[in-house]
Structures are given as C-alpha cells and as structure tokens.
Amino acid sequence: MRELQQKAAENFSIEVITPPTGRTFKAALFDFDGTLSLIREGWREDMIPYFCEELAKTPGGQNETAEEIYACAAEFVDALTGKQTIFQCMQLAEEVKKRGGTPEDPMVYKTEYLRRLMARIDSKRVALGKGEIDPEEQLVTGSYAFLQGLLDRNIGIYCASGTDQPQVREEAGLLKLQSYFGEHIYGALDEHAEQCSKEVVLKTLLEKNGIKGEELLSFGDGPVEIDLVAKLGGYAVAVATDEQKKYGVNPVKREKLLAAGASVVVPDFSKPAELLNFLFGE
C-alpha cells in the first residue's frame, strides 16, 4: 500500500488514503460547482459577507467583533457546502434567532444571495453563451478527457448539485457537459427543499440500477458529498482544486475533505490517463 501511495504521489500528485484495490466500479457521481464547473468560482465571497451583514444587524451581533461573526458564518457555510443553498440560508436564520434577531424566511436570504452572485457572474455566463469564452476555460483542468475516459470504460456517470436544477442544467449546457451526462444532471428542487438533493440522487441511483455502495465512485469538493459516499461504502475522490488557478490543490479544501472521509485527494483532472489507471487498476 505504501508503494502505491508513493507512486501515485510522485507520478501524478494524488494523495492516497485508501487505495481502490479490489473494487469494481459501475457508476460515478460528480458534484458540479468546484468539481467540474468554475462558473461560480468565488461564490463563498458572495455568501459569507452577505450573511455577516445579516448577523451584524442582530442585537447579539452588535456585541460581537467582525472577526467573530465572520468565523461563525464561514464555519456553517463550509460545513454545509455540498447541500443545496437553502440549507445554508436555514442555518443563517437559526443564527439570527440565536442572537435575538427576527429572521427572514430562508428563501428571502437565498434570493438575495443569488441576486448578488448572478450580478457578478452574469457577464461570464453571457460570454459563454455567445461563444466568446472557450467552455474549457471554465472547467477544472482535464475534465473533458477524464469524463470521456469513464465513458470509454462503460461507467455510468451522473451529476448531482446543490445548485437549483434549472440553473445547473443551463450551466452544464454552457460548458458542453450534456454530451457526457445526458439527462443525468440533477440539482436542488424547491419541492424537496428540506432533503439533501445529493442524498436523494444517490439513493435513487443505487436502488434503480442495483448498484452496491462499494461499486460507486464519486468526485466532489464539498464535505457533504464526501461524507455521504464514504458512509455508503463508496470510493470518495476529493477534488481539492484551487479554483482561482483552475488547477492544483487548495490546502483548506484538502483538510476539510480529508476530515469528511475522502479516500484519495486529487488536485484536478490534468493527468486523466494516470488517474483512470490508478482507479481501475490498469
């Protein structure tokens, strides 16, 4: 095992916690934002400052320092990354209540956060739609080649996101990802606001296709999906990409994903053949 770990680290910069020895994979589940798509890169810098504004207005928040409020918001935003946005907004409402404030409906918080986010990334989305930006520039390095490599191995691939389903499907189209996933692109739906969209997709995927947990391969950059797959006995690949650079490891992401139960950490998909060979024992 140590030899495999050292070889993987030296040859293609992955950090192996548990090798996939003896596994036969039948399906692969991908997160969207941060794992494949970089369209929403920087979303955290839209959400956390906005949440801090709301917390600072409360009676209790007025007695806290800006650093204390930021630490609180960052902690629950990061812990819930991977679930749909409404969960973070529901927690914001709880934090407002704890501080003696009267919280808005979580949907109000979600609407305002998305307004701020879309105002910042709209020009990028428009440029992609007009063909002024190469879609590959807004993907984690090596995504196309890696997805094709899975399809070439007859692995069913699925995408599940915490982003609202109409938007994730639209952005997948802008990035030319629909040719890989087909209709298997899922996001958050308001009618299932209190259910984790990824958990729903996972359960359906396994039951409908008769797939065992240990036959599932997953790729994500949030602790929620890593934890879900690890508990099912699947092989959870943490994609700890530095989203600003579009490649390489973000050390903060890495730490959180390892704590969530990742089996292996990859910086990106920049060496697709080597990563595929590692995963499938080729």
120 and 245 co-located in one domain: no
* pLDDT at residue 193 in the model: 53
261 and 152 co-located in one domain: yes
CA–CA separation, 138 vs 6, rounded Å? 31
In a domain, residue 134? The reply is no
Cα–Cα distances in angstroms (integers) from residue 225 to residues 42, 57, 131, 155, 240, in the given order: 20, 33, 32, 19, 13
CA–CA separation, 257 vs 84, rounded Å? 18
198 and 246 co-located in one domain: yes
166 and 27 co-located in one domain: yes
25 and 164 co-located in one domain: yes
* pLDDT at residue 48 in the model: 98
94 and 229 co-located in one domain: no
pTM of the model: 0.87
Q: What is the mean pLDDT of residues 62-66?
A: 96
Q: What is the mean pLDDT of residues 151-180?
A: 94
* pLDDT at residue 72 in the model: 98
Say whether pLDDT at 9 is over 50: no
The answer to whether the CB of 205 falls within 8 A of the CB of 29 is yes
268 and 210 co-located in one domain: yes
pLDDT digits (tens, 9 = 90+) for 113-161: 999 999 999 999 999 999 999 999 999 999 999 999 999 999 999 998 8
Least confident segment among 41-45, 53-57, 207-211 = 207-211
Say whether pLDDT at 36 is over 70: yes
* pLDDT at residue 12 in the model: 52
113 and 238 co-located in one domain: no
* pLDDT at residue 165 in the model: 87
* Lateral strand order in the sheet of 156-164: 15-16, 264-266, 235-239, 216-220, 27-30, 156-164, 185-188
* pLDDT at residue 196 in the model: 54
pLDDT digits (tens, 9 = 90+) for 191-201: 555 555 677 77
Q: What is the mean pLDDT of residues 66-78?
A: 97
CA–CA separation, 130 vs 122, rounded Å? 12
Look at the chain and report how many structural domains it folds into.
2
pLDDT digits (tens, 9 = 90+) for 248-259: 899 999 999 999
Last residue of a domain, one of 129, 160, 187: 129
66 and 34 co-located in one domain: no
In a domain, residue 25? The reply is yes
Six token digits for residue 91: 């927690």
Last residue of a domain, one of 129, 149, 182: 129
In a domain, residue 218? The reply is yes
* pLDDT at residue 194 in the model: 55
33 and 146 co-located in one domain: yes
* pLDDT at residue 225 in the model: 86
In a domain, residue 219? The reply is yes
In a domain, residue 193? The reply is yes
Average pLDDT, the chain: 90
Q: What is the mean pLDDT of residues 169-195?
A: 84
> What CATH number is associated with residue 251?
3.40.50.1000
Q: What is the mean pLDDT of residues 80-106?
A: 94
pLDDT category of residue 10 using cuts at 50, 70 and 90? very low
Long-range Cβ contacts of 70-77 (<8 Å, 24+ apart): 73/48, 74/48, 77/44, 77/47, 77/48, 77/51
* pLDDT at residue 147 in the model: 98
* pLDDT at residue 191 in the model: 53
In a domain, residue 65? The reply is yes
In a domain, residue 215? The reply is yes
Last residue of a domain, one of 129, 148, 181: 129
In a domain, residue 211? The reply is yes
State the residue range of the domain holding 12.
2-38+139-280
Say whether pLDDT at 169 is over 50: yes
124 and 145 co-located in one domain: no
Q: What is the DSSP string of 184-212?
A: -EEEE-GGGTTS-HHHHHHHHHHHHHT--
151 and 180 co-located in one domain: yes
